[in-house]
Structure 1
């Protein structure tokens, strides 16, 4: 059987907590096992107390009573430290609360000022937007008025341009009238104008008496003149009336002449027109100097050098080429005069 021997060992002095100026003797107890032979005996416990040479033996009961006091001193220091830490922590929390409260208050004040500024800016922008809206409305109205005025001015300008063009044509015609009248030593007023009426006024016509008006020209078609004349004689006769042989410049004019000429004698006779190939080089020229390009020729011509129109059933194919010495009727043409009302 093992028996235990409790040995009390006096240790060194230790300084506990903040009381480092006091040292206490700590008695350590060591339980040492011993082996004893036992026979039919109750177990006995032998305590051996070993002490240091400088320590006196104390009463075990007193030592036991002092241990709680010795062990409570470190916890007291820890409690003090924890209390101080708690005070510091609370102080820090209070300081942080005050700091953040102040910062938050300043931030809120700044936000309020910024909000007020933004509100003022918004009000200013709304007012400016309203002003711009009103200005845009006024400009739109002014633009509409200007467009209307521009339309009116454009219409007036077009009207003035048309009037200018008409006046220019009238001026040209009047100049032509003046030029035409200057050809006469004594202008034949009675051939253009009717006798004076009751109030002493005369009404004048664009063509001489007996002439036909078509577009801007006057035509004299010799139906029953006798004797007939050659091409040269016919042209001289036209010139005595300050005109010349007919120059056909369009299909409408060709149809007009066809509708006002009559068939006579035979299929070879017709009315001299102002178209010749005197040089016999197959280049037909009008009496006004222009070249003939597209004509209204018959399918078969006589092979002469002077042209005449022969009435037939084909209004767009009745020109014929005959000898210039052949005698025929003829057609004179002059420009119509313009008389103001």
Structure 2
């Protein structure tokens, strides 16, 4: 603090000091006026000094808003814009990578499903081959066996021929006999098999009927007739019954033209077949 301010503070202290009422003081009016003027002047000077000091402090602490600061604000704004652009570019790149990964994932999922389908198909084929292998193994085992008594072998089947004339049966009874033997009435699949049966030289029931639908001939396993060995003009569903729904092989015709439709209640020999 300079001397001027110190003097003013001393004068202020003198003014506001409590007077000593025990002392008697004489005042010169002229001196009093001068002192009052000095006091006012000094007080104004003190206020001006304090105001100046505050103004200086405010100037020191206040932010600088001059041209230099405006340039700094522009730099900050420019940097923020650059950072925003960088973030935007990074976001776009990440989005693009995400889409590429999603497409790759979808392709891999599709390939996986295709491989799963192929695996399932191969598994089914393997199971079928194993089943066929087991079947062929069973057939081979059966082929190695000798025919049971009363049976004879031809190609891949065994045949049981009823030979006693006194034991002729209806078509239904003949089939029941075959079923009891673990077989069924014969199903003819080839010219060779037809010729083999014809050469047995008997009238025989075979496993063919149209008892369900007239004119629709089916084998006992439910399969439709494809190749027939009828002798002319059979089948004719002839009188008197007009109910000839079962088929026999006649032994007085040609080997491949020997079938005749007949009433199922007629009594004939029969032939059973058991495939192995």
Q: Place the TM-score, normalised by the shorter chain, in its bin.
A: 0.3 to 0.5
TM-score scaled to structure 2, two decimals? 0.46
Normalising by structure 1, we get a TM-score of 0.38
- Larger strand proportion of the pair: 1
Which has the bigger relative contact order, CA under 8 A and spacing at least 6? 2
Please tell me whether Structure 1 or Structure 2 has the larger radius of gyration of its CA atoms: 1
Q: Larger helix proportion, structure 1 or 2? A: 2
